[in-house]
Amino acid sequence: MDTNFLSGGIAELQEAKNAISESAHLQSAFDAAMANASAKEKDLESQKKYVNDKVNSAIKERRGQLKKVHDEQVDTANKNLKEAEKQRRVAKSDAVQARITDETADLVGQADALKKQTKKLFKDNKVPGFCNSKFFYSLYAPKSASDFVILVITVVVTLGLIPNVVCALLQTDKLIIKILVYLAIVVFFVAIYFIIFLVSKRNTKGGILEQGRGLRKELAQKNKEIKKMSKTIVKDKDESTYGLEGYDSEIQSLQQALNETVQKREDALKAFDEETAVQIREEIQKENQPTIDQMTEDVKASKAAFEEAKAKATQAAENVTNNFEVYLGKKNTSVEKIDGLISLIQEGKAKTIMEALDIQNGEIK
């Protein structure tokens, strides 16, 4: 096509119109082929993902079932071991307690004798039983540091804390009433203290309380020795005298059984991962391979059609650009614009394409 095109008329414009229409048609075919190829690729990827998800789901389910069976076996073996260990602990505890009872029998007997002797001392001298207590000695015959601590606490509670609490709870704002109540409570506790003192004093002459204190001190020493001996026995790591060999043998056997069960589970899961899982994957992929192969062929065919449509559309577009657009201009290279130019020539307003372009572009009125 040369510059004579612009001096041409309807025939040349019709040729341009046909080329533009053909280019538009081929471009539409190219767009459709591109969309079809893209859709086919997406369908293939979706199918592959579906197969892969199906494989993973099947493997996960089968592995979970296998693991559950072996976990139950491990749990049973572990439960049996725990029960045997519990029985051993109970047996040892009973044996230790029996040993404590046996080895502290003399001390316990001496402590019981001291208790009876102290009780008899107070009874024979008609001293009230409550006098034979730590609290009584702390209030009426304090001697040790702990006695004085108990005495101070008792004084603070009875002469300070209780009266103040009672006064705080009174439904009155009159200070005199609160003072009277406070004094009444103090007098009450002091009176009780001296009443007990007078009652006990009549029968505690002749050093009875000191004799009782001596016996109580001796008893406390015996109890301390019993506690120390018991603690030593409990901490003794030598278990050879408790007859626990049968339990140890059973525990060892159950521990070995547990270890073997755990190892079986690990071996089974390893074999599944290395063999069974591979077989499951191959079976499912084999089942779905024909579909994937067909879809792969469809993708290849759609890509080939796409490439062919692309080549045709490119060639047609280049033909329009090189042979018509360079003369008509881009804005006039359309079916509607070409029809306008043809109309101008048909109506006699223009004789050539160049004149029609000038009119259409507004250069000639």
**For every residue of 263-281, which 3-state class applies, written as one string?**
HHHHHHHHHHHHHHHHHHH
Q: In terms of domains, do 300 and 206 share one?
A: no
Is residue 268 assigned to a domain?
Answer: yes
Is residue 99 assigned to a domain?
Answer: yes
Residue 68: the pLDDT is 95
For the segment 170-195, the average pLDDT, to the nearest whole number, is: 87
Residue 201 CB coordination number (10 Å): 12
* Nearest alpha-carbon partner for 142 in 75, 209, 63: 209
* Nearest alpha-carbon partner for 89 in 310, 251, 293: 251
Q: How far apart are CA 229 and CA 104, in angstroms?
A: 7
Longest dimension (CA), the chain: 160
> Are the C-beta atoms of 111 and 217 separated by less than 8 Å?
no
Q: In terms of domains, do 157 and 304 share one?
A: no
- Max mean pLDDT among 35-44, 175-184, 190-199, 251-260 falls in 251-260
- Between 43-47, 93-97, 128-132, the lowest mean confidence (pLDDT) is in 128-132
Q: In terms of domains, do 109 and 31 share one?
A: no
Q: In terms of domains, do 267 and 240 share one?
A: no
Q: In terms of domains, do 113 and 228 share one?
A: yes
Is residue 195 assigned to a domain?
Answer: yes
Residue 206: the pLDDT is 54
Domain count, the chain: 2
Q: Where does the pLDDT of residue 95 fall: very low under 50, low under 70, confident under 90, or very high at 90 and above? A: very high
Supply 275's token pair.
Answer: 């063999």
Taking only the tens place, the pLDDT of each residue in 28-84 is: 888 988 998 899 899 999 998 999 999 999 999 999 999 999 999 999 999 999 999
Residue 73: the pLDDT is 96
Is residue 353 assigned to a domain?
Answer: yes
107's CB contacts (< 8 A; 6+ apart) are 222, 225, 226, 229
- 251, 275, 304: which is the final residue of a domain? 251
Is residue 143 assigned to a domain?
Answer: yes
Q: Is residue 3 pLDDT above 60, yes or no?
A: no
For residues 268 and 209, the model is more confident at: 268
Taking only the tens place, the pLDDT of each residue in 162-180 is: 988 988 888 888 888 888 9
Average pLDDT, rounded, for the chain = 88
Residue 137 CB coordination number (10 Å): 21
Is residue 25 assigned to a domain?
Answer: yes
Q: Where does the pLDDT of residue 234 fall: very low under 50, low under 70, confident under 90, or very high at 90 and above? A: very high
Residue 361: the pLDDT is 81
Q: How far apart are CA 151 and CA 138, in angstroms?
A: 6
Is residue 365 assigned to a domain?
Answer: no
- Max mean pLDDT among 7-11, 102-106, 345-349, 355-359 falls in 102-106
Q: In terms of domains, do 156 and 242 share one?
A: yes
Q: Is residue 205 pLDDT above 80, yes or no?
A: no
Q: In terms of domains, do 35 and 19 share one?
A: yes
Q: Is residue 200 pLDDT above 50, yes or no?
A: yes
For residues 204 and 324, the model is more confident at: 324
Angle between helices 105-124 and 208-235 (to 10 degrees): 160
- 212, 231, 251: which is the final residue of a domain? 251
Q: In terms of domains, do 59 and 108 share one?
A: no
Is residue 241 assigned to a domain?
Answer: yes
Q: In terms of domains, do 99 and 205 share one?
A: yes
Residue 7: the pLDDT is 85
Q: In terms of domains, do 80 and 11 share one?
A: yes
For the segment 9-17, the average pLDDT, to the nearest whole number, is: 87
Q: What is the percent of the chain with per-residue pLDDT over 70, rounded to a whole number?
A: 97
Taking only the tens place, the pLDDT of each residue in 281-313 is: 999 999 999 999 898 898 898 989 888 888 988
- In angstroms and rounded to an integer, the radius of gyration of the C-alpha atoms of the chain is 56
Strands (E) in the chain, as ranges, are none
Burial (CB count within 10 angstroms: exposed 0-12, middle 13-18, buried 19+), residue 306: buried
138's CB contacts (< 8 A; 6+ apart) are 146, 147, 148, 149, 150, 151, 154
Supply 319's token pair.
Answer: 């033909």
Q: In terms of domains, do 311 and 174 share one?
A: no
Q: How far apart are CA 252 and CA 183, in angstroms?
A: 73
What length does the chain have? 365
List the domain range (segments joined by +) for residue 146: 92-251
Q: What is the percent of the chain with per-residue pLDDT over 90, rounded to a whole number?
A: 40
- Between 12-16, 75-79, 197-201, 224-228, the lowest mean confidence (pLDDT) is in 197-201
Q: What share of the chain is helix, strand, coil (3-state, %, to 5)?
A: 85, 0, 15
Q: In terms of domains, do 178 and 206 share one?
A: yes
> Are the C-beta atoms of 23 and 323 separated by less than 8 Å?
no
Q: How far apart are CA 131 and CA 205, in angstroms?
A: 13
- 223, 251, 279: which is the final residue of a domain? 251
Residue 349: the pLDDT is 87
Q: Is residue 88 pLDDT above 90, yes or no?
A: yes
